[in-house]
Structure 1
Amino acid sequence: MKIKLSNEWPYQLLFLIAVIFSYVNFYELSLAVWLIILFITVKRYYSKTIIILCAFYFALVVFGITRAFFYQHNLYDIIRDISYFIKPIVGLLIGYQCFRSKDNNFFLTTIYVALVISIIHFALLANAFMTYNINYVHQIRYYGGYFSDFETYAVIILIFHKKFQLNLSTRERITLLTIIGVSLCLYLARTNMIQFIIISCGLFGLYQLSKKKIIIISALILCGIFSYKIIYDMNPSRTATGFENFLFKIKNAPKEIYDPYVVNDDSPRFHDNFRSYETKITILQILNKEDGGLWFGNGFGAIVNYGTTIHTNDATQVKYSPILHNGYTTVFLKTGIIGLIIYLASMFYLSFLGEKTDDKYLNNVKLLINSTGIFLFISTLIFLGFYLKLDNKSLFVGGLLAYYEILNKEKKCIK
């Protein structure tokens, strides 16, 4: 397999570095690297589209800082929240700035970057197997990682290779799909399964509704409900290992989003539905204050009191948290209902961005952008969407937008 470097290789390398550091569980370091890359790759020109998209997230930053003046939050907590909330802007701009011409083919770059990530993933797992003799699903995820949105995108692009005009031989495509696909499966991530399904449906054009597509979507929903019912009736054990443990997580997924009856009693229900507990106590905390927090939030620096010490996946213990698993809850805590409206508007903007054209290639790129916007609605419920410390979707979206604009501009010049 030959990997040909284009004239854009410095930007491809910087994009690779940005993606790699998004997997590093040391937020201060990864953000510092992102900021350096941001300043190195600054453009002279930015489109109206990327400015509007970044403006949504910038508005949330301004709103959160303004609301912080109404409280006596710790300065460190305020600065930390600012660093969390600027991450989508930084990621979108890095992705956008790294793709400057058609020579840097966005889809090939994504695939080769995902290949590097996959090899690193295999190396981490191999070391864990040899060093710690891991046997259980939670151990595989602890040492190898809990998800990989970027590799999911690469697998989707390889599967839908005809839509993206990939200049790869069948042998190259199968090799890449096998390596990246196996790596992706080893994350055993429900969110990546959902990501794959949502974006694949988008690329099939199922969200451009017609009578036939409504029937197909309805059939898929019924199949999903039926499959969930089968898993629910199987009653997989929460203490099981291997694949049964994965099935239990699927069964428990709806309650993780919101379970109104979950309480902090150190029971299995509490630990299984901790995300739901976070949402519940955040809403109660805001409603118990008659200071406009419902509409405007408690500003940057606001934290949630769990009421007890919680053990995290990072092997730390916390009682107060500034950032929650649910992105909507986090935005609501800092900026209230107004902030939620702004955040939802950013996803709507992405989901309906671009115009349908007679250029199939351009239209397929547009579908990928729109499908990602739809996926963000779901991923924000579980893993904070763009606001997750390990997120790299913003890099992908920023690069994809730049490439879409390059193709669109080229098409207009030909006309």
Structure 2
Amino acid sequence: MKISVQKIYKFAFYSLLFLNLFLDSIEINFVAGLLIISFISIFPENKISQSFLNLISPLFVVIMVSFFAGLFYEIQPYEALRGFVYLFKPILLIILGFLLINKIKDKHFIFNAIVYTAAISATIHIFELLVFLANNPFSVTRIRELDRDNFIELFALVILSVNSNKIFLSHTILKKLKFFRFLLIISFVFYFSRTMFIALFLLIIAMKGYAKISSKGLLYITIFTIVFSSFFVSLQFMNLERDSKGIDGFLYKLKIAPAEIFSPDLDIDIHNHESLWDHWRAYEAFKAIQQIKDTNYSVGWFFGKGLSSQVDLGFEVPLDGKRFQYIPIIHNGYVYVLFKSGILGLLMYFYFLVFAYMQCYKPYKNLSLTIVNNFISGVAIFFILTSLIITGIYNKSDIIVLFLGGLFSLQLFFSKTNQEDENRYIRN
């Protein structure tokens, strides 16, 4: 039986989604990405446009600065290789997303693939949840141990929640739209993820075109800020404890979120894990910055400490059943980039995120392009947020960068499509 090239491209895209979603190994996923891009390179027509290369060039600069900075310190080959994999993986997935979606003729494919993949993931999550609840009492902490978040489900829920996105959805999804929404909402809620709840509102605002700095955009952003600020302030007056059960346990996690990110406990008791985890993200970021300062002539501030650098936590910390004193990556993506490539690399990372956000300001040409531009802006806002708490695009399990690469491909395609041609892609 002859297999079409189109099916191969689609299979490759789904493979990347499922591998990164269900296989928690950055090494295997990285090798899989390299194999797929090597296969794609066989076909001479798969070329990357100069405009796209210019767009992702700041991310290459981050790696280059980190590489050259590392030459001034003791090089550890294995750690340098691992550092390269962490920094290059998002670039690899963005390129793969761009190339695959560029060659797939069905320009609705990427949106439908995200929804179908999310539906499968949500089904698995709900099944695991039901099995757990059938054998254990309800506990937010224990439920979160099943899986802490799933951003494919987040983006799929956004796709299904904004009416304008329906032009990209298949007839099958449109017929069962309520079912897909219900499935994803149930799964979404039971992740009890602070990041996902905040990101959901921000993405919907962006998809509706309100991420721009305009009178209406500022109104929605102000309302969002006031509501969430009021909510967090009210939590400070609630008697919530770390060992609280049920919803109170989740509210406690929300209550300590600002302190966890921004307030390191410098008198931390290494034997008191409650104190340790309540300030963990801020503590590891503080230790990274402390080591940047401790460099000759402050060169660490400008160029970082290189690919093979690791953050010295000051004592052995229990992580994933093992004990570590030196870690190659931290939760705060901004400090992580600063640690590896200094202010120069951090500026490049900011430039990439801000440039992606600015796509929502591009002039209206057709409905499809407007939706794609708003989505790119929304993804940028998402990464601006997640860079504070889960390393942004450098999160080892992040798959949204593949989606972002596909959106850049659609942007290029629809920018060349006039209103009449667009009608071929909109379902009546």
Give the alignment's TM-score, normalised by structure 2: 0.89
Match in the other structure for 2:46: 44
Match in the other structure for 1:184: 188
Counterpart secondary structure, 1:188: coil
CA shift for structure 1 position 27: 2.0
Question: How far, CA to CA, are the matches of 1:27 and 1:45 in structure 2?
Answer: 26
- 1:389 and 2:396 equivalent? yes
1:335-371 deviation per Cα after TM superposition (whole angstroms, max 9, x unaligned): 1111110111110111113722142332121111112
Match in the other structure for 2:413: 406
Tell me if structure 1 keeps the 8 A contact 2:232–2:255: yes
Tell me if structure 1 keeps the 8 A contact 2:365–2:418: no
Match in the other structure for 1:21: 19
Counterpart secondary structure, 1:382: coil
Match in the other structure for 1:86: 88
Tell me if structure 1 keeps the 8 A contact 2:240–2:249: yes
Match in the other structure for 1:318: 324
Q: Match for 2:296 among 284, 290, 294?
A: 290
Question: How far, CA to CA, are the matches of 1:311 and 1:281 in structure 2?
Answer: 17
Between stretches 74-83 and 50-59, larger displacement belongs to: 50-59
CA shift for structure 1 position 39: 2.2
Match in the other structure for 2:425: none
CA shift for structure 1 position 48: 3.3
Question: How far, CA to CA, are the matches of 1:121 and 1:33 in structure 2?
Answer: 25
1:294-346 deviation per Cα after TM superposition (whole angstroms, max 9, x unaligned): 1111111111111112122x322211111111111111111111111011111
Tell me if structure 2 keeps the 8 A contact 1:67–1:298: yes
Question: How far, CA to CA, are the matches of 2:35 and 2:5 in structure 1?
Answer: 21
Aligned letter for 1:222?
A: I
Change (3 A) 1:163 1:382: same
Between stretches 167-176 and 276-285, larger displacement belongs to: 167-176
Gapped regions of structure 1 (runs ≥ 5)? 1-5
Question: How far, CA to CA, are the matches of 2:293 and 2:379 in structure 1?
Answer: 33
Q: Match for 2:112 among 108, 113, 116?
A: 108
Match in the other structure for 2:337: 331
Between stretches 208-217 and 79-88, larger displacement belongs to: 208-217
Tell me if structure 2 keeps the 8 A contact 1:286–1:333: yes
Change (3 A) 1:220 1:122: closer
Change (3 A) 1:353 1:204: closer
Change (3 A) 1:395 1:282: same
1:299-314 alignment runs, 5 A limit? 299-312=306-319, 314=320
Question: How far, CA to CA, are the matches of 1:48 and 1:370 in structure 2?
Answer: 21
Question: How far, CA to CA, are the matches of 2:266 and 2:181 in structure 1?
Answer: 41
Aligned letter for 1:14?
A: A
Counterpart secondary structure, 1:299: coil
Change (3 A) 1:48 1:161: farther
- Over the aligned positions, Cα root-mean-square deviation in angstroms equals 2.4
Change (3 A) 1:139 1:33: farther
Match in the other structure for 1:3: none
1:243-273 deviation per Cα after TM superposition (whole angstroms, max 9, x unaligned): 1111111111111111154433234333211
Between stretches 364-373 and 267-276, larger displacement belongs to: 267-276
CA shift for structure 1 position 134: 6.7
Counterpart secondary structure, 1:309: strand
Change (3 A) 1:7 1:30: closer
Change (3 A) 1:97 1:298: same
Tell me if structure 2 keeps the 8 A contact 1:107–1:164: no
Match in the other structure for 2:230: 226
Q: Match for 1:380 among 371, 379, 387?
A: 387
Change (3 A) 1:273 1:49: farther
Match in the other structure for 1:196: 200
Question: How far, CA to CA, are the matches of 1:127 and 1:16 in structure 2?
Answer: 27
Question: How far, CA to CA, are the matches of 1:198 and 1:262 in structure 2?
Answer: 33
Tell me if structure 1 keeps the 8 A contact 2:40–2:46: no
Counterpart secondary structure, 1:286: helix
CA shift for structure 1 position 126: 5.0
Tell me if structure 2 keeps the 8 A contact 1:137–1:241: yes
Change (3 A) 1:66 1:368: same
Match in the other structure for 1:76: 78
CA shift for structure 1 position 124: 4.2
Percent identity between matched residues is: 25
Change (3 A) 1:170 1:15: closer
Question: How far, CA to CA, are the matches of 1:77 and 1:163 in structure 2?
Answer: 43
Aligned letter for 1:394?
A: V
- 1:216 and 2:220 equivalent? yes
Counterpart secondary structure, 1:234: coil
- 1:279 and 2:285 equivalent? yes
Tell me if structure 2 keeps the 8 A contact 1:102–1:403: no
Match in the other structure for 2:210: 206
Match in the other structure for 2:64: 62
Question: How far, CA to CA, are the matches of 2:358 and 2:341 in structure 1?
Answer: 25
Aligned letter for 2:36?
A: I
Question: How far, CA to CA, are the matches of 2:79 and 2:356 in structure 1?
Answer: 30
Aligned residues: 408
Tell me if structure 2 keeps the 8 A contact 1:61–1:85: yes
Give the alignment's TM-score, normalised by structure 1: 0.91
Question: How far, CA to CA, are the matches of 2:100 and 2:122 in structure 1?
Answer: 22
CA shift for structure 1 position 140: 2.0
Counterpart secondary structure, 1:228: helix
